[in-house]
Structure 1
Amino acid sequence: MKIFTKFDYNTVCKKVLEDKLGNLDLKYRIIAFGEVEFLEKIPSEKMKLLKEDLEEYGITIIENQKTVLIEKIKETILEMVSSDEPLNVKASVYLSEKLSHSYGYLSNLFSEITFSSIENYIMLQKIERAKSLIIKDNLTLTEVAYKLNYSSVAHLSTQFKNITGITPSQFQRIITKRRELANKQ
């Protein structure tokens, strides 16, 4: 038997953080996704335990300010791509407004630290979201293109093929075949 699951990364991460911080009896408040403010000084032994506990779930405590901003850029892009409503503003404007920095600064910093461009990261995230929408929500390519703010299905298809090596239509056929095989078993 096989099941398919759908979950919200923000909710899962928040729950893990709350559980681990609570287990260590720390006083804190969660400000935003991935941002926790401690309401008391944390002894180094407890901080070490917290780091170890969180690493078990793939959560890392970031201490460098540039790296913190890179993570905020990535989170903002994921938020932007995951939105149920398409944005009516360019990604560069959205990022600048959300993060209170010029897009030039954000773009240069992102490239310096990740060795990739923000545009490329956005494209990768949009394709991952497109695959998810095709698999989980069973949307048509027109619906996917609209949801991800592509100018056309052709534009989506071109980027999809450049990233995955196959067209979204081929991807849909593969998913359909896998479902049929799974249902027969």
Structure 2
Amino acid sequence: MILRIKNMVCDRCVMVVRSELERLGCRVCDVRLGEAEIGEELTPERKRELAARLAELGFELLEDRRARLIEAVKNAVIGLVRGSEVVPDVRLSDYLQERLRVDYRQISALFSETEGRTIEKYFIAQKIERVKELLVYDELSLGEIAFRLGYSSVAHLSAQFKQVTGLTPSRYKLSGGGRRRTLDRV
């Protein structure tokens, strides 16, 4: 049985969900961002118990097909931004359509309707959160960060950063970087 779970955005989330499933006595086959595979069907009672426990931890068991698709889009975007050292040079629409096996126009319309913003704006917000994180770590130059996140130039990164945050990257770095958000709140 595959369970779709909202707000799984990092490896720690995967560990927490795996732990909860095991605590409930489920035979866990695999847990990855946005879903868990278990080796049995859950009774409605156990499913409610799992949903309640996941809700206490900030997750949500997804039943609705549309909600599952939105969560799959978010997980795919997060995976694109954070899944490798350098964001691959691909068109977002092609990447999502190939990854999710759903027409991009359908994905885009549903996402905009449900989330109140476009997938592209969500993608940019995820990239900016990653930039904030890398700025705080202070291990890379702005040029290296721009390259890693697929920006055409430092100027493009800086302009987009300021548009989203209201600060330049250097001003953000000087401020101590206290304005970061968790991935599920981006």
CA distance in 1, matches of 2:114, 2:150: 27
Q: Where in structure 1 are there 5+ consecutive unaligned residues?
A: 1-7, 177-185
Structure 1 segments of 4 or more deviating over 3 A? none
Matched, 1:56 2:56: yes
Tell me what 1:120 maps to.
121
The code of the aligned residue for 2:29 comes to R
The code of the aligned residue for 2:28 comes to Y
TM-superposed CA distance for 1:37, in Å, is: 2.8
Matched, 1:110 2:111: yes
Matched, 1:78 2:86: no
Tell me what 2:35 maps to.
35
Tell me what 1:15 maps to.
15
Structure 1 residues 126 and 154: alpha-carbon distance in aligned structure 2, compared to 1, 3 A threshold: same
TM-score, normalising length from structure 1?
A: 0.84
Structure 1 residues 117 and 9: alpha-carbon distance in aligned structure 2, compared to 1, 3 A threshold: closer
Tell me what 2:152 maps to.
151
Structure 1 residues 137 and 103: alpha-carbon distance in aligned structure 2, compared to 1, 3 A threshold: farther
> What SS does structure 2 have at the residue aligned with 1:61?
strand
The code of the aligned residue for 1:110 comes to F
The code of the aligned residue for 2:66 comes to K
The code of the aligned residue for 2:102 comes to H
CA distance in 1, matches of 2:98, 2:41: 32
Question: Do 2:14 and 2:32's aligned partners in 1 also have CA atoms closer than 8 Å?
Answer: no
Structure 1 residues 100 and 31: alpha-carbon distance in aligned structure 2, compared to 1, 3 A threshold: farther
CA distance in 1, matches of 2:48, 2:102: 32
Alignment of 1:136-147 (within 5 A): 136-147=137-148
CA deviations over 1:14-63 (Å, ceiling 9, x no partner)? 21111111111112322642212332231222222211211121111011
Structure with greater helix share of residues: 1
Percent identity (aligned): 38
Could you say which structure has the larger radius of gyration?
1
CA distance in 2, matches of 1:126, 1:60: 24
The code of the aligned residue for 1:101 comes to V
Question: Do 2:9 and 2:75's aligned partners in 1 also have CA atoms closer than 8 Å?
Answer: no
Question: Do 2:9 and 2:33's aligned partners in 1 also have CA atoms closer than 8 Å?
Answer: no
Structure with greater strand share of residues: 2
CA distance in 1, matches of 2:58, 2:138: 27
Structure 1 residues 74 and 28: alpha-carbon distance in aligned structure 2, compared to 1, 3 A threshold: same
RMSD: 1.8
| More displaced stretch, 66-75 vs 42-51 | 42-51
Select the structure with the greater relative contact order (CA < 8 A; seq sep ≥ 6): 2
CA distance in 1, matches of 2:99, 2:32: 13
Q: Where in structure 2 are there 5+ consecutive unaligned residues?
A: 1-7, 178-186
CA distance in 1, matches of 2:48, 2:66: 22
